Homo-oligomer: A and B are copies of this chain.
Amino acid sequence: MKRIMSFAGLAVLIIGATAAGIQSPQPKPYKVVFDLTTDDPQDQAAVLRWLREVASVNPQNEMEVVMYGRGLALVVAGRSTLGDEVKQAIGRPHVSFRVCEIAMRNQKLEKSQLLPNVATVPDGIGEIVARQKEGWGYIKAVAH
């Protein structure tokens, strides 16, 4: 009887190990902040692609895009050429878009002019620095 139980236990272990082996080896989740200051369409497309790819590596990865300077163009309604893609990205979990309010004042933009669910922060550079301080990775979103 003892032997049968051991055997059963072993079988459970083997099945468990096999199941773990079948699911692709999920890397540890990470957090990354993208610093976007350009309105270059290729840079904008790149950052949206990176958001998809980072999520594909591990759906638990946290991503934040902080925009200031010309980076705001990506999320201004009626001006963004990638508005649909931005909306899709914002709709996914663990993705946020945050616009610098100083840059908004410089460019005379109101919150109502931003695409839906785009957040704002008082200070874009301060937001990025705070994320780095919290241990987030930093990527300057320039692709060209």
Could you tell me which A residues sit within 8 Å of B by CB distance? 27, 30-32, 35, 37-38, 40, 46, 50, 53-54, 56-57, 61, 69-70, 102, 122-123, 125-126, 128-130, 132-133, 135-140, 142-144
Contact = CB atoms under 8 A, between A and B. Distances in A.
A116 B102 CA distance: 30
Given A102-B53, A133-B135, A144-B40, A126 B69 contact: no
Overall SS of chain A's interface: mixed
Contacts of A70: 143-144
Given A57-B122, A70-B143, A138-B138, 8 more contacts: A30-B130, A37-B144, A54-B125, A57-B102, A61-B126, A69-B143, A125-B137, A133-B137
A137 B137 CA distance: 11
Contact of A143 (B32, B38, B122): B38
A14 B40 CA distance: 51
Nearest to A50: B125
B126 A54 contact: yes
Given A27-B126, A50-B125, A140 B32 contact: no
Q: Which 4 A-B pairs have the closest CB atoms?
A: A129-B137, A140-B140, A57-B123, A30-B129
